[in-house]
Structure 1
Amino acid sequence: MHEREVKTVEDAIALVEASALTHIKVGLSDIDGVMRGKYLRRDKFLSALKSGFAFCNVVLGWDLDDHLYDNVRYTGWHTAYPDAQVRIVPQSCRRLPLETGPGGERMLFFLAEFDGDAAAVCPRRLLHRVLQHADALGFDAYAALEYEFFMFNETPQSVREKGYRNLQTWTPGNFGYSVLRSTVASDFYRQLNALCETMDMPIEGLHTETGPGVIEAAIAVDRAADAADKGFLFKTFVKALAQQNGLMATFMAKWSHEHSGQSGHIHVSLRERKTGKSAFFDASQPHGMSRVQANFMAGVQRYLPEFMAMYAQTINSYSRLVPGYWAPLDATWGIENRTTALRLIPGTDKSQRVEVRIGSADANPYIALSAALGAGLYGIETGLEPAPMVEGNAYAQQFEPALKLPNTLWDAAQRLRESSTARTLFGDAFVEHFAATREWEEREFRRHVTDWELARYFEII
């Protein structure tokens, strides 16, 4: 049986029993979208397929640097960090081209997700609750994720030795859509495409972006649940591939003030369950925009300011949101307009969609996609109408205050915490936990003195 044919626990058991591997690898998402995981011995893994396994819930109680949150209810010293229940997702099975076991057999990898009480704050389970809402409304949701990432001739050791300064980018200068660059570095591009094909996260388009060593990859469209899994896998294993080649990849929203930020755009569409037709396309309407698509886009637009923390999840995310750097500042929409937060892309029954351009590459794909789909579905359910369409350069225009997006992580966390709609869509437990983790991130930042502060104030003030 091919690993991507695995659909059930019984299928997974049969595949593992036919394998010579002594251990199987599993991974799951923490709050920040970092993959955490472990190897499970073959017999332990087979048992876990049937009944789940225990995973310390500290994974949901610490930050990117494994520092413990002091402001969350779900877990902490007050709970003594007990184990949480985790279930393995059989249909997520993949081979890892970057890793082999006995006899050169490629490692088997499975995604997992939190279960029991931890499901309320688990990013993957959050998305699946939103998709249940879509199902109840009679829609199948589809998505495609695009990521920009910078590449460096560095290692994890060298960047630390340099203090993250004077880093050598993979290639010099600006050279967007460069055939020269991709030809010279064709071996890495070949490896990247092969990795993504083997792991069933095929790249539909891959090219250099403007900036030294920056690449943009568009992952092919799929059902929303699978699209989020693919985005999650992509970010981890691109970094692994780069490091195996003596390189590094970063998905930071903005690694240098001298260069553009890195986006994580989300393309979304809905199809009618009964007919299989696009719910977004209506050939009789201007730009092919159906009433359902208008309501969906209105929902995303209306709740962008309240859900901003779910799209822009780090301190660094807000460094990208400045005028003139291809990142929107207000909850606006336009037809094929890349200066607005939402870009309506006219097409056909197959291609009509909305692109949510606000997100950065550092976002947890499960959480960002939950925000977009949840808000859009709520717009359909409540019959919301979008604000007037923007034509021309949105950066040069003024909009009503209600469309203004939060410009700090702290403000975004407060908007999310105060949002009754967020609580309706995502649950009190998730909103409280996620908002608290973003407040923690802001407080951690404020404890530190930046290079900018030293250069500006040390001598002069």
Structure 2
Amino acid sequence: MTSHSDVSARIAKELDRLDADIVHVGLFDFATMFRERRLRREDLLSGADHAVFANVLPKWDAAESILAPGPYGSETIAYDPDSIRPYPFEPRAVALVADYTGPQAEIMPRRVLARQVERARAAGLDVLAAYEFEFILLNETADSLRAKGFADLSHFAADNRCWSGQTAATYASFVADLESLLRAADIDLFALGVELGPGCLEATLRHKAAMRAADDAAFFRMFTKAFCRQRGLTASFMPLLGAGFPGIGGHVCLSLRNRQSGRNLFADAHQRYGLSEAAQSFLAGIIDMVPEAFPMCAHTVNAYRRFAPGSWAPKTVSWAPYNYAAAVRTAAETEEATRLELRLPGSDVNVYLALALMLGAGLEGLERGLALADEPIGSGGPNEIPADAPRLPSDLREATQRFRASDKVRRLFGVAFVDHFAMLCEAEDAALRRAVSAAEVQRYLEAG
């Protein structure tokens, strides 16, 4: 067990390496928002052995409405020295992630992922992961959004077409500046460019160890939003903003490595589609678990708008090699690059829970030696719905009912987490049940 003095020493060493005097230290809540305090180096280190943070974070929803009963107060936290990274908006500053160590520890998303990573580690496996985000840029500020009632949103790069070289050239300096800021925060990008249509960009993050990859993804969204706001823009990671906007995803890639040999456990050129038997069992575990644990990769009402007919979002729990309409896309270009890609989450995904779901379900399949019985789906069209593939929940309410009732999910992720997260999802669904859109009014007001 790591002592407080060891943690402080490791943090001090990292602060020396990065020449940092300021620490933005905080926790990621269920909306993956970083809730922080800004401390000076000496104050952080002197209080490391008795650090606390308000325990309200898991008790409120996306609108900061309190949902869970008290008591409310301060709860002990522990700093994660491995999470330290440069903070790109202030000189000589870093960001540092903490986790609750008291009663909230069992239910917080980052700790849910940590338990699955430890499970893999106990089996002699290292987990590599990476995220890919589509996001929409708007010519809107915080003030203009509110003045317009969040309606009639104005596109940034309204002339963009998918993968347009013209748009890439036009906005090259903006994209290059964003990449420079992200790299300054130790977020390594494999690619960053334009994608699906007006205002749409896509960022592919390079693979890292699982927890670092999830932290990279969480900070990527936060830092991208801040970068854009500083330039009079808004970056949106909502899965669907409405008419005239594409549905956008937040995909998760994963592979397992044997710790002793370093070899990719998923790769076997002699097996079908280049996937080892271990990879096939892992994939079978995901297919088996996802329908019952779906809120872990789609926890907002808006996430389900993305699955509307005509979109490229998967409509069933399916798999296929190099098929963009599959729930899990398999890729095996080389032994090193062989991986599974979960394409179900929207871009607003809780990055810790989606990876915990993928890893936990896959490990379950691996441990049980599940066979991948189903054949992959075929054409890859946006409306491909194999008749025999398990269907996804139609909305957050249905997904949460399945989630709460699942014995498999409770056993794998813990009763306390499942009950608490289900409560949050039920409240999120209820909050918008009475909301009426302008499109509904237009459709029904004068009908009949």
For Structure 1 versus Structure 2, the TM-score category normalised by the shorter chain is: over 0.9
Match of 1:80 in 2: 71
Which residue of 355, 373, 391 corresponds with 2:378?
A: 391
Match of 2:3 in 1: none
Paired amino acid for 2:420: H
| 1:104-136 Cα distance to aligned partner (Å, 9 max, x none) | x33222111222221101111110101111112
The 5-angstrom pairing of residues 224-243 of structure 1 reads 224-243=210-229
CA distance change for structure 1 residues 288 and 450 in 2, over 3 Å: closer, same or farther?
A: same
| 1:45-101 Cα distance to aligned partner (Å, 9 max, x none) | 11233x1421111111111111111xx4xxx2xx231222211111222222222xx
Which residue of 314, 332, 351 corresponds with 1:346?
A: 332
CA contact (8 A) 1:52 1:88 kept: no
Which residue of 383, 388, 406 corresponds with 1:400?
A: 388
2:445 & 2:33 partners in 1: Cα distance?
36
1:320 & 1:52 partners in 2: Cα distance?
44
Match of 1:95 in 2: 86
TM-score, scaled relative to structure 2:
0.94
Q: How far is the alpha carbon of 1:17 from its aligned partner?
A: 7.2
Match of 1:4 in 2: none
The 5-angstrom pairing of residues 303-322 of structure 1 reads 303-322=289-308
Paired amino acid for 1:453: E
Q: How far is the alpha carbon of 1:8 from its aligned partner?
A: 4.8
1:398 & 1:15 partners in 2: Cα distance?
51
Match of 1:115 in 2: 101
2:351 & 2:314 partners in 1: Cα distance?
19
Residue 447, structure 1, aligned to residue 426, structure 2: no
CA contact (8 A) 1:121 1:429 kept: yes
Residue 9, structure 1, aligned to residue 8, structure 2: yes
Q: How far is the alpha carbon of 1:454 from its aligned partner?
A: 2.0
- Structure 2: gaps spanning 5 or more residues: 1-5
RMSD: 1.9
CA distance change for structure 1 residues 19 and 275 in 2, over 3 Å: closer, same or farther?
A: closer
Match of 2:66 in 1: 68
Q: Among the aligned pairs, what percent are the same residue?
A: 35
Match of 2:126 in 1: 140
| 1:219-241 Cα distance to aligned partner (Å, 9 max, x none) | 00111111001001101010000
1:116 & 1:196 partners in 2: Cα distance?
33
Paired amino acid for 1:168: S
SS of aligned partner of 2:334:
coil
Which residue of 182, 195, 203 corresponds with 2:181?
A: 195
Paired amino acid for 1:136: A
CA distance change for structure 1 residues 16 and 268 in 2, over 3 Å: closer, same or farther?
A: closer
Which residue of 366, 379, 403 corresponds with 1:416?
A: 403
| 1:191-227 Cα distance to aligned partner (Å, 9 max, x none) | 2111221111111011101211110000001111110
1:344 & 1:354 partners in 2: Cα distance?
5
Match of 1:278 in 2: 264
Q: How far is the alpha carbon of 1:351 from its aligned partner?
A: 0.5
SS of aligned partner of 2:421:
helix
Which residue of 240, 246, 250 corresponds with 2:236?
A: 250
Which residue of 315, 320, 328 corresponds with 2:314?
A: 328
1:208 & 1:129 partners in 2: Cα distance?
36
User: Please, which moves more after superposition, 297-306 or 180-189?
Assistant: 180-189
Which residue of 191, 194, 200 corresponds with 1:214?
A: 200
Number of aligned positions between the proteins? 441
CA contact (8 A) 1:315 1:408 kept: yes
TM-score, scaled relative to structure 1:
0.91
1:291 & 1:15 partners in 2: Cα distance?
41
Paired amino acid for 2:32: G
CA contact (8 A) 1:253 1:317 kept: yes
1:221 & 1:416 partners in 2: Cα distance?
29
CA distance change for structure 1 residues 96 and 345 in 2, over 3 Å: closer, same or farther?
A: same
